[in-house]
A and B are shown apart, each in its own frame.
Chain A
Amino acid sequence: MVVPVVENLTRRVGRFMHDDDLRVELQSLLKGGLETKIEPRAWDQAKVDFILSRLREIDAGDYENKLVEAGFTLYPWGEGDDAQSCETCMYYVVHRRFCELPELMMPVEADWSCTLWRI
């Protein structure tokens, strides 16, 4: 019999292991030259809504297309005080290194960025 707490922990560790593997995969896609829609930035609500609607049409497991539509980069967008990185984004879960935007829900790195950044 598995004690619930242990079972829960096992599941959590399993999830993070999966996150790590997937993160490496996504990173190699971007390093390999995957062209993503970096511009135009989602500066206003209409553009945000447009990108979100495109993301909702993508299968939850189709991470490659999610990277493309959200305009992911392996580096922060902008410079200095205006730099936009996952690290400061509201959807970024620091300890899991994960994007919790419901339309994305995928592992990322702190210094990545996408057009849906919001603070």
Chain B
Amino acid sequence: MANLLWLQGGACSGNTMSFLNAEEPSACDLVTDFGINVLWHPSLGMELGDNLQQLLRKCISGEIKLDIFVFEGTVVNAPNGTGEWNRFAGRPMRDWVRELSDAADFVVAIGDCATWGGIPATAPNPSESQGLQFLKRGHGGYLGAEFKSKAGLPVINIPGCPAHPDWVTQILVAVATGRAGDLALDEFQRPKTFFQSFTQTGCTRNMHFAYKVSATEFGQRKGCLFYDLGCRGPMTHSPCNRILWNRVSSKTRAGMPCMGCTEPEFPFFDLAPGTVFKTQTVMGVPKELPEGVDKTGYIKLTGAAKAAAPAWAEQDIFVV
């Protein structure tokens, strides 16, 4: 039996909604099949007021063993570093976060806000938000770069806006069943099993990417979304086209560009007008190219690919 506690800071509850929709395994499977005891969760917990405070204090003191501390949302530090804008159970949430993180065997950050600050930390960041161990790409965050939980691991980051339900439940199962040591983390402390490949991996538009056929409107079935509509699939690490959403689809499959929400810079360009859903270019060449590709190679490849493009690649081949 592994005790799990889930708290929310500066959050929209999107990751909770995602978690509750998990299927493989489901939130219920965590309890019935994998021995996870949910001590408290904002949408599931029964305790209120003094009872909740008592529960949290018992976790901090060790009277109740805290195996997994899950945090969703940013750590809010405003105003002026006090955290008073986000009070919870009688004190600033950030104070609970510090003490519970120190008491837990494992700390798991769910969603962009908890991992690197996400949308609340976008400039000018009025809520003085931070992720648990990162602020955007900057290592440190609220807990500091040196933080390690009792089990000796840094915060396990599961980013996304929201994180896919199965990324959440599968990592929680791995941790709860004693396989946390098998989790290889990347430089941003994301489990490589999910975040080594690209969003583009498995995208149904890869043939259009290869032959440089561009989609020019949302929802268009033909064409790649990278060239004009700002898709970040080739630069974003996520399994969105390997582990499908609702088991059936993904943004790119539905004709919407990937916004790169598993990367620390999300939302990109601080949401400046004209930067969302529009590929940013300099002299006609995308500012950001697929990872590892240089400008000269990209231009040469494009010329060759377009010249080789078969007629079918330029048509809508999906028959309803």
- Interfacial residues, chain A to chain B (CB-CB below 8 A): 41-46, 48-49, 81, 84, 87-88, 90-96, 100-102, 117-119
Q: Is residue B150 contacting chain A, with contact meaning CB distance below 8 A?
A: no
Across the interface, name the chain B residue whose C-beta is closest to A103: B216
Residue from A88, A96, A101 in contact with B306 in the complex, judged by beta carbons closer than 8 Å? A88
Kindly state whether residue B281 has any CB partner on chain A within 8 Å. yes
Question: For the complex, is B280 an interface residue (Cβ under 8 Å from A)?
Answer: yes
Cβ of A48 and Cβ of B281 under 8 Å apart?
Answer: yes
On whether A95 and B281 interact (CB within 8 A), knowing A100-B214, A118-B227, A118-B228, the answer reads no
- Chain B residues with CB under 8 Å of A92's CB are 306
Per-position 1/0 for B217-249, Cβ under 8 A of A: 100000000011000000000000000000000
Partner of A90, one of B212, B278, B296: B212
| Tally of chain B residues near chain A (CB < 8 A) | 27
Residue contact B299 to A119, C-beta cutoff 8 Å: yes
Contact of B284 among A49, A100, A101, A117 (CB under 8 A): A117
| In the complex with contacts A45-B274, A101-B216, A94-B282 CB distance below 8 A | no
Q: Give the CA-CA distance A56 to B280 in the complex, in Å.
A: 20
- Closest residue of chain A to B213, judged by CB? A93
Q: In the complex, what distance in Å separates the CA atom of A102 from the CA atom of B216? A: 7
A90-B214, A91-B214, A118-B284 are known; give 13 further A-B pairs, CB within 8 A.
A87-B303, A87-B307, A88-B299, A88-B306, A92-B306, A93-B314, A95-B309, A100-B216, A102-B216, A117-B284, A118-B227, A118-B228, A119-B284
Contact present for A87 and B299 (CB under 8 Å): no
Q: Which residues on A sit within 8 Å (CB–CB) of B280?
A: 45
Known: A90-B228, A95-B311, A119-B302. A84 touches B284 (CB 8 A): yes
> In whole angstroms, how far apart are the Cα atoms of A93 and B309 in the complex?
9
Q: Given that A45-B274, A118-B227, A119-B299 are known contacts, is A91 also in contact with B281, CB under 8 Å in the complex?
A: no
- Measured CB to CB, the nearest residue on chain A to B301 is A119
Q: Is the CB of A102 within 8 A of B217?
A: yes
On chain B, the residues within 8 Å of A95 by CB distance are 309, 311, 314
CB neighbours (8 Å) of A91 from chain B are 214, 216, 228
Residues in A neighbouring B217, C-beta threshold 8 A: 102
Query: Are the CB atoms of B298 and A81 closer together than 8 Å?
Result: no
